[in-house]
Amino acid sequence: MRLRALAKINLGLDILGKREDGYHEVRMIMQTIQMYDVLEIKKKKAPGISLSVNYPYIPCDERNLVYKAAKLLMDEFQVKGGVTIRLEKFIPVAAGMAGGSSDAAATLVGINRLFKLGLSERELMDRAVKIGADVPYCIMRGTALAEGIGEKLTGITQVPECFVLIGKPGINVSTRAAYESLNLSGIQNHPDIDGMIQDIQNGDLQGMTAKMGNVFEPGIIGQYPVIQEIKDLMESHGALKAMMSGSGPTVFGIFDSQEKMDAAAKILRESNLAKTVFGTRVFNRI
Ligand SMILES: C[C@@](CO)(OP(=O)(O)O)[C@H](O)COP(=O)(O)OP(=O)(O)OC[C@H]1O[C@@H](n2ccc(N)nc2=O)[C@H](O)[C@@H]1O
Ligand SMILES: Nc1ncnc2c1ncn2[C@@H]1O[C@H](COP(=O)(O)OP(=O)(O)O)[C@@H](O)[C@H]1O
For residues 275 and 224, give the distance between their C-alpha atoms in angstroms, rounded to a whole number.
14
How far, in Å, is the centroid of ligand 2 from the Cα of 103?
A: 9
How far, in Å, is the centroid of ligand 1 from the Cα of 177?
A: 10
User: Which ligand number lies closest to the CA of residue 29?
Assistant: 1
Enumerate the β-bridge partners of residue 41.
85
- Residue-wise pLDDT tens digits, 70-94: 999 999 999 999 999 999 999 999 9
- Residue-wise pLDDT tens digits, 217-245: 999 999 999 999 999 999 999 999 999 99
For residues 210 and 229, give the distance between their C-alpha atoms in angstroms, rounded to a whole number.
19
8 and 98 in contact (C-beta within 8 Å)?
A: yes
155 and 148 in contact (C-beta within 8 Å)?
A: no
- Residue-wise pLDDT tens digits, 179-209: 999 999 989 899 999 999 999 999 999 999 9
Ligand 2 and 135: CB distance under 6 A? no
CA 30, 31, 36, 41 dihedral sign is: positive
Task: Give catalytic status of residue 130 as yes or no.
Answer: no
Largest distance between two CA atoms of the chain: 57
For residues 67 and 26, give the distance between their C-alpha atoms in angstroms, rounded to a whole number.
27
In this structure, the residues whose C-beta lies within 6 A of any atom of ligand 1 are: 10, 13, 22-24, 26, 28, 96-98, 101, 132-134, 149-150, 175-176, 179, 246-247
Selected catalytic residue, list 134, 168, 231, 241: 134
Domains of the chain: residue spans and CATH: 2-155 (3.30.230.10), 163-281 (3.30.70.890)
φ, ψ at 56 (rounded to 5°): -65, -25
| ipTM score of complex | 0.97
Closest CA to 48 of 85, 23, 102: 85
**Model pTM score:** 0.97
User: Which ligand number lies closest to the CA of residue 99?
Assistant: 2
> Closest residue (by CA) to atom 6 of ligand 2?
100
Task: Give catalytic status of residue 126 as yes or no.
Answer: no
